Structure 1
Amino acid sequence: MNGPILVTGGTGTLGRLVVPRLLGPGRDVRVLTRYGRPALSHKSAPGTAPAPAQDGVTHLVGDLVKDQGVDAALEGVHTVLHLAGGPKGDDIAAHTLVRAAEAAGVRHLVFVSVIGAGDVPLGYFRAKHAAERAIAESAVPSTTLRAAQFHDLVLMVLEKTGRLPLVPVPSAMRLEPVETAEVADRLVELALGDPAGRVPDLAGPHVRPMADLTRAYLRARGRKRPLLPFRLPGAAGRAYRTGANLAGEGAERGRRTWESFLADRVG
């Protein structure tokens, strides 16, 4: 693979691990972010590019949802890793990126999605599925990796609920959290290779009831809290009870367990 690499969401939880792994002799790595480098003013003009930082990464200011600065960021880019995401607007961002990538002649677009996209009837999953379709149906050769929930995300949720006197736990929910660094490694491998379409999902080593994950977290924090199981209602509840959010046969499995992650981050 030759030519510049652009990473959207390069300052996020996943992007901060992906970007350093892309660096190498003579490799041009760029990051598209809504606010530029942390040291930059939030008033930076969309599409402007400050001089490359000492870490060898150029940060560009742009917004995929608002379609600001995207065309300028993609000029001359060979490969895009689309990691940017949020609670809303992932489908809009993908359409913006596809349009600009087609116009710029991008050779490879790598997208990280979520296991259960298209099967779990929640807005976040629907938006990810719509983003997958926009990318797959575009003229840009692409690779899509669906990943399970990151350890970091599960921890963020439990840091909030774990402070309550009674810790609410969806009784039928099962997760297979995966180490963020392992997802980063796989994405870099895919980005440096040829477009491969939809590749096997990447999930954690074990399927775990949410109650088990919660108890392990509370032990790591040294807290004693009773759990309050509750039934998720509606179609979303049925989807989680049937395991629509879990990886199927043929998925790749990470190695790091939830307990190992907690020992480093919480213990």
Structure 2
Amino acid sequence: MTSVVVTGASGRLGRAVTARLAAEGFEVRALSRTRRADAGGVRWAVADLATGRGVAGAVADSDAIVHLASAPYRGRYTRRVELDGTGALLAGARATRTGQLIYLSIVGVDRVPWGYYRTKLAAERLVRDGGVPWTTLRVTQFHEFAAEILAGMARLGAVVADPGIPVQPVDVRDVAGHLASLIRRGPSGEVEEYGGPEVLTMAEAARLWLDSRRSRRPLLRMRVPGRLGRAFRAGHLTTPAGPAGKITWQEYLAGQDEGSP
């Protein structure tokens, strides 16, 4: 049985990935900073990526590592998790001769002028040069992330969207299934991309969200300024790569509880 270590296992994608891998017969070892009870075919191990404590023991005798953990927009702690934590994982993987490491990154990380993206790109380089067979998978924005952004704006009274920005939201369940297929395929030593099944404008996605929530909040069309806005409008958050996910934005919204903020 293939033994897979999953970092970031308690996050929205991590929960989908551990459940999918366990259902497909993998031996799943999930990492957490605090002790958790084993359940659903998932065994939990205590490890702290920010300090490196427990990482080597947690990855020992693993066949593959799926590195999902992140801590965006948290200053120095972000760099400790993304860079020090990735380095600790690679050291543990080298010591135990783990067969592959899959690192989850973001579509556009090399083209969008954003501080967090630069940190992710530096982590990609660590993986590339880390001495462990690897695949880096860049994905587009999760459905949940897009919904959270829209909900946050709606609570302030209106939803603002740049109609010139194309977006390609992807479902974590689709990403989980794709990651399972990558484990079975083996490391490519390449940066690959994976996106949702459709490209919408930011304004179209916002209107669908408002309609699904039966919200009366106004939709204000406004351009995102500066270099960031230009990068977004250039389509750097989307990818033509295949295969792509199957669950559309509208299908995701239809599965959520109704109610307007």
With the length of structure 2 as denominator, give the TM-score of the two structures. 0.88
Which residue of structure 2 aligns with residue 264 of structure 1? 255
The total of aligned residue pairs comes to 251
Which residue of structure 2 aligns with residue 12 of structure 1? 11
Work out whether residues 201 and 252 of structure 1, in 8 Å CA contact, stay in contact via their aligned partners in 2: no
Please list every run of 5 or more consecutive structure 1 residues that lacks an aligned counterpart in the other structure: 40-52
Work out whether residues 205 and 257 of structure 1, in 8 Å CA contact, stay in contact via their aligned partners in 2: yes
Which residue of structure 2 aligns with residue 61 of structure 1? 46
Q: Distance in 1 between matches of 2:47 and 2:144?
A: 26
Work out whether residues 121 and 236 of structure 1, in 8 Å CA contact, stay in contact via their aligned partners in 2: yes
Worse overlay, 134-143 or 97-106: 97-106
Work out whether residues 65 and 96 of structure 1, in 8 Å CA contact, stay in contact via their aligned partners in 2: no
Which residue of structure 1 aligns with residue 242 of structure 2? 251
Work out whether residues 6 and 29 of structure 2, in 8 Å CA contact, stay in contact via their aligned partners in 1: yes
Q: Distance in 1 between matches of 2:100 and 2:198?
A: 32
Which residue of structure 1 aligns with residue 149 of structure 2? 157
Structure 1 residues 225 and 24, CA gap change in structure 2 (3 angstroms): closer
Q: CA deviation at 1:27?
A: 4.5
The 5 A counterparts of 1:117-196 are: 117-196=109-188
With the length of structure 1 as denominator, give the TM-score of the two structures. 0.87
Q: Distance in 2 between matches of 1:66 and 1:173?
A: 38
Alignment deviations for residues 169-194 of structure 1 (CA, whole Å, 9 cap, x no partner): 24432210011100000001111221
Which residue of structure 2 aligns with residue 236 of structure 1? 228
Q: CA deviation at 1:115?
A: 0.4
Structure 1 residues 24 and 185, CA gap change in structure 2 (3 angstroms): closer
3-state SS of the aligned residue for 2:130? Answer: coil
Q: CA deviation at 1:54?
A: 4.2
Alignment deviations for residues 123-170 of structure 1 (CA, whole Å, 9 cap, x no partner): 221122111111111110011211111111111111211223222224
Q: Distance in 2 between matches of 1:212 and 1:27?
A: 39
Code of the aligned partner of 2:150: L
Q: In percent, how many aligned pairs have the same letter?
A: 37
Structure 1 residues 227 and 109, CA gap change in structure 2 (3 angstroms): same
Alignment deviations for residues 217-254 of structure 1 (CA, whole Å, 9 cap, x no partner): 11111111222333323322221121122214x43322
Structure 1 residues 167 and 25, CA gap change in structure 2 (3 angstroms): closer
3-state SS of the aligned residue for 2:180? Answer: helix
Work out whether residues 140 and 238 of structure 2, in 8 Å CA contact, stay in contact via their aligned partners in 1: yes
Q: Distance in 2 between matches of 1:197 and 1:215?
A: 40
Q: Distance in 1 between matches of 2:250 and 2:194?
A: 19
Alignment deviations for residues 51-100 of structure 1 (CA, whole Å, 9 cap, x no partner): xx242322111111221211111111121011111203323322222222
Which residue of structure 1 aligns with residue 35 of structure 2? 36
CA RMSD in angstroms, aligned pairs only: 2.0
Please list every run of 5 or more consecutive structure 2 residues that lacks an aligned counterpart in the other structure: 73-77
Structure 1 residues 94 and 226, CA gap change in structure 2 (3 angstroms): same
Q: CA deviation at 1:3?
A: 4.7
3-state SS of the aligned residue for 1:36? Answer: coil
Code of the aligned partner of 1:260: E
Code of the aligned partner of 2:19: P
